[in-house]
Structure 1
């Protein structure tokens, strides 16, 4: 699909209204132009390398957290596998990435995100291999770092812990969808519309379902967070002193 296909408003809305799954929160296989798919892969790789090294050090420091990391990956996989129909044949879904970001740190979620997205692309045809870098960047980088920043800010403001987690998950989910919309707007720029105008149009496809889904994700994340903290508080506080 070439960038030139979106050169006016009518063409844009014809594309959006075709009931394909290219506008789900995971960008579908082959949908991004190859130069953009390559670009996002290059952007994601440094985060993956750093995240892997940090995760390796964490597991060496506290070996018992290996199982907890597996639980976090499973949580992300399950939540992000459920697609909820949105408008015009598109779909939205939860992500679950905030939980791991708060527990293990934002950078380690690049590893979890890659594992989850790879399995989903191969087993569920959800997302794709060529779009793996773009999807991983939006979910496992933007989603993870925004969750940690919001959590830390809420802690400084002396907000209760459950509300810190809830806010982190809600903002993380919302910013993932905003980032995906920006990625699509960049890839399919229009001669008649600005980048921001295109991004707003893409975001409008998700907005009806994504806002309530972000709130639901916040509730799920708080529940699982409290469950893990009750059973593994000693191990997790060694990794993240903010969890004390």
Structure 2
């Protein structure tokens, strides 16, 4: 769930915006460097942003009265690294708040921190750790998308608990986590599966771009070329 207008005190909105701003600024620099160094990955970068926009715009009602949705940020995180997703995620959240009334402008900083910063970094960390441990690409992508999604909601629940904890901070956090869990856990699993399928498709149709990004290994050079024959 994107936190909607009015759900956070003004001081919290300002604080989360201040925390998120350096990450977004760094992300803007990262995107600029990426496009300058590898302009041929422009379409893939746009696809990663579009994937996040479409998935995170799907609101699914929760049996608890809340709503949940995928985030779609793991794809861009594992392909381009998390700083790029800080900017793309911010653009996604801004236009969703402006055009779809999904989230809010005043709560943009909080939503950016949860979905465009923490989620991608967790996804990328899980991806790197899984691949380093010898996991297959499919399994590593699955775990990255699954845990990146769930991390986003843990942060959102924490943000809401910090703002609304009359019953005590721990109890408030458990309450908000309980509101999300019934729908968010299966949604995270579905998002992970979809992300794996998208990566599989890209691995067939965008091989050169993925190789330049280091996501796929470069083709082995012929022995004759290696020894200079």
TM-score scaled by structure 2?
0.92
- State the secondary structure of the residue aligned to 2:128: helix
Give the CA deviation at 1:207. Answer: 0.5
**Alpha-carbon distance in 2 for matches of 1:54, 1:237:** 19
Unaligned stretches of 5+ residues in structure 2: 218-229
Structure 2 CA distance for aligned equivalents of residues 96 and 180 of structure 1: 16
Q: Tell me, yes or no, if the aligned pair for 1:29 and 1:128 is still in contact at 8 Å.
A: yes
Deviation for aligned residue 1:242: 4.4
Structure-1 residue corresponding to 2:225: none
Match of 2:140 among 164, 167, 172: 164
How many angstroms apart in 1 are the aligned matches of 2:6 and 2:211?
A: 42
Secondary structure of the corresponding residue to residue 107 of structure 1: helix
The residue aligned with 2:31 is: 55
- Where do residues 179-194 of structure 1 align in structure 2 (5 Å cutoff)? 179-190=155-166, 192-193=167-168
In the TM superposition, what is the alpha-carbon distance from 1:183 to its structure 2 partner? 0.3
Partner of 1:14: none
1:20-59 equivalent positions in 2, closer than 5 A: 25-59=1-35
SS in 1 for 2:60: strand
Q: Establish whether residue 234 from structure 1 lines up as the match of residue 205 from structure 2.
A: no
Match 1:204 to one of 174, 178, 189: 178
Could you give the per-residue CA deviations for residues 80-112 of structure 1, whole angstroms, max 9, x where no partner exists?
A: 111111033210001110000000101110111
- The answer to whether the Cα contact below 8 Å between 1:87 and 1:206 also exists between their aligned partners in 2 is no
Structure 1 portions without partners, runs of 5+: 1-24
SS in 1 for 2:135: coil
* Secondary structure of 2:71 counterpart: coil
1:243 pairs, out of 213, 216, 226, with 216
Larger radius of gyration: 2
The equivalent position to 2:103 in structure 1, one of 104, 124, 127, is 127
1:138 corresponding residue in structure 2? 114
- Aligned-partner Cα distance in 2 for 1:201–1:84: 19
Alpha-carbon distance between aligned partners in 2 of 1:68 and 1:242, rounded to the nearest angstrom:
12
Deviations 1:167-190 (A, max 9, x none): 000001111111000000111122
State the shift of 1:236 in Å: 2.4
1:86 correspondence with 2:86: no
Q: What is the aligned counterpart of 2:87 among 90, 105, 111?
A: 111
TM norm structure 1? 0.86
Aligned length: 217
For the residue of structure 2 that corresponds to 1:87, the secondary structure is: coil
Question: Does the 8 A contact of 1:150 with 1:168 survive in 2?
Answer: yes
CA RMSD of aligned residues (A): 1.1
Q: Measure the CA separation in 2 of the matches of 1:39 and 1:237.
A: 39
